[in-house]
Structure 1
Amino acid sequence: MRASRLVTLLLLLQNRGRMTAEQLAEELEVSVRTVYRDVQALAAAGIPLYGDAGHAGGYRLVDGYRTRLTGLTADEAQAAFLAALPGAAAELGLGEALAAARLKLQAALPAQLREHAGRIQERFLLDAPGWYGDADDTPHLAAVAAAVWARRAVVLRYRRWRAPEEIERRVEPYGLVLKAGRWYLVAGGPSGIRTYRIDQIIGLRGPEEEFAVPDGFDLGTYWTGYLKDFQARLHTGQALVRLTREGARLLGVAGAGDGWTEALVPIESIDHAHGEFLRLGTDIEVIAPAGLRDRIAETVRTLAARYEARSRR
C-alpha cells in the first residue's frame, strides 16, 4: 500500500508542480506526518525533490525531472481521456484505480499533450444514463464483475417478468455491458448464451469453478446481434401512416418533403403504437391497421368531449 502511495505522491508533484504537505495529505487521504515520512523515503531513494519553507513554499521536483511512459500519440491520449467513465468505474469498484490510472497517464504525457488532455476533460462530458429515471440499484454488480474478471461461474437468483418470476441458475459470466445507464451480464448457461439485467439479480452465490469462454466468442459482436434480434422481436407488426415533415422527422422516416408522406413503420403492438402515435398529435394520421386507427379516433373523441365540457363550465 505504501509503495502505491509513494508513486502517487511522485506523480502528483510531477503533474501539479509545487504542493504543500497539507495539500498532499488531503489528496492521499493520510496525515501530514505521513507525508513527511513519504517525502523522506522518496529523497532517500534518489528522487530529486526539495521543499521550500514559507507561505508560498511546498514540495516540488527538480526542474526537468520526469518519470514517464512513451509512445502515446495525441489521438490516443484524447481517446483515453474522452472514453473514461468515472461513474461506471465507481459502480464496478474501480473508482480509485481509474483515478490512479489517469494520474499516471497524465504523468506519461509531454507537457503539450497533457494540456490537450486537460482541455478534453474540461469541455466534454459523457453522461450515460437517460432522463426521467432513477439509477438502477445494483448491489451485486461488483461481485458479478469480479466473477467476469476471474472467469468463474456463479449461481444467480434472478427476477424475471414472466412466470416463474424468480429463478435460480448457474451461469458462466462472459462479460458486462453498460447500455443507456443500465448494466447487463452476458453469460453462458444451460440454455446457451443469455443476457441478464444486473438490477434484477436478487442473490448471488460463488464464485465457483473456473470456465473457458467458447472459442470465437466476442462480446461486441454478440451484443450487436442481440440488439438486432431484440428489435426484430419487439417490432412484430407494421402500420401504414401519413406524416407531416415534422412527424417524419420524429419517427425517423427518410425522404419526407414539405407536404404529407405515406410510410410503413414497424410497431410493437396496438397498445404501444397507440401511445407512441398519440404523442405526435396532428403530425400523423394512421391509415391501417383499422383497429389502431379506430382506437386512436376513439381516444381523440374522448379527449375532445372532455375539453369541450370543461370549456362550457
Structure 2
Amino acid sequence: MAAIVDKSAILATAGQGINELIAWATAGGKPPVTHTYEACRCQLRLPTPLDDVGRLLASPSDAAAAASYVHVDKSTLLQTIESNHLQVELRYGIFKAPVPFMRDRDATYIECFKHFTDGHGRRGVARYLTSHELPTTTPNASYVRVDIRTWGIVVVESSDPLVLHASSVVDVDWKSVSAYIGSHMTTRRAQSVKHLDTVVRASLKKLFERCSMCLTKPSSFERANNFAACVGCAKPLCPRVRVAICLACAGAKARAKVPTRETLLESEASTVESDTKSPTVHRTPRRMSCESGWLTPQYHRPRRPTEAPLDLTYLASFQGNTA
C-alpha cells in the first residue's frame, strides 16, 4: 500500500481543502464546492469545552458520532500520512442505504483534522473529507462507489468557552440515486452539526446530569464541573454527598466480600500444609459407577464386579459327619 500512495499529493490535497474550509467558516463567502451542495451554520451550547469536540471529530470510530451521521457510517484505516500540522489518514468507508432494496455506498477518501486559531484569536477545530482513488484497487461489486467532493465541519469558539459556532458543508455524488434520496442523504449529514451537543453528551456518557445518589440536578447558574465521578463506575456525584463511590458500587463490593457456598466448600477442602485447594466435584450416580468399576473406561460396557472366592471347606466336614 505504501508503494502506490503519493504522500505529497495527499498532503497537498488535504492542506488546500482544509484551509479553504476554515477560510469559508471564519470569514464567510462561498464554500469551497463546485457542484450541488448543502451547508449549515448554527450556534451550540455544549457542556464541555472545545477540546472534547475536537476529540469527537478526530475519532472516526466513535459510535455516537457515526450513528448521528457526523462520521462515515463504517470506516477502516488504510494508512496514516505523517504531517507536522495536520492529522491526515487514508481510509475506506461504507455509507448505509437509507431505504430497503438499495445497495450501500463505499468510497476511498482522505480524512484530515486540524486545530487552528483564526485572525481574532479564537480557537477552532476542522475536519475535512474528500475522495481519493487508489490506482490498484478495484471497486467492490456489492457497493456503489461514490464521489466525496467535499465534506467538512468547522467548530470555532466564542467569547463563552461553552458556546461554539459550528459550520458544515456536504457535496457528495451518491451515484445512481433519485434526487429525493440523494438530497436526503446529503441533508442529514449536513444538518448533523445541529445535534452536535447531544452527540458530545452521548459520547462522554453525560446524558444524565443528576447526582447518582441524591438525584439532585444543578440549576443553570451552577457550573457542571461541580460533579465528581465515582471511582467505580464514573457516574456523577455532587459535592453534598461527600463520598468517592456511589451506592451501587458500594453494594457490589459489599456483596463480593460475603462468602458464598462455593467459597466455603473450597476453603474447607484446602489443606493446612499447602494453599492449593482441591476441586469440589459433584459425585453423580454415573461418576460413582465409573469409579466403582461397573463401567470400563474404554468400551463403556458393563462388567461383573470382582469378589473374593467362596469358601467350600465346610462341605467336606458335612459329608464326613453324614457317613
Q: Same fold (TM over 0.5)?
A: no
TM range (shorter): under 0.3
Structure with a larger share of its residues in helix = 1
TM-score by length of 2: 0.22
Q: Greater relative contact order (Cα 8 A, min sep 6): structure 1 or 2?
A: 2
> What is the TM-score of this pair, normalised by structure 1?
0.23
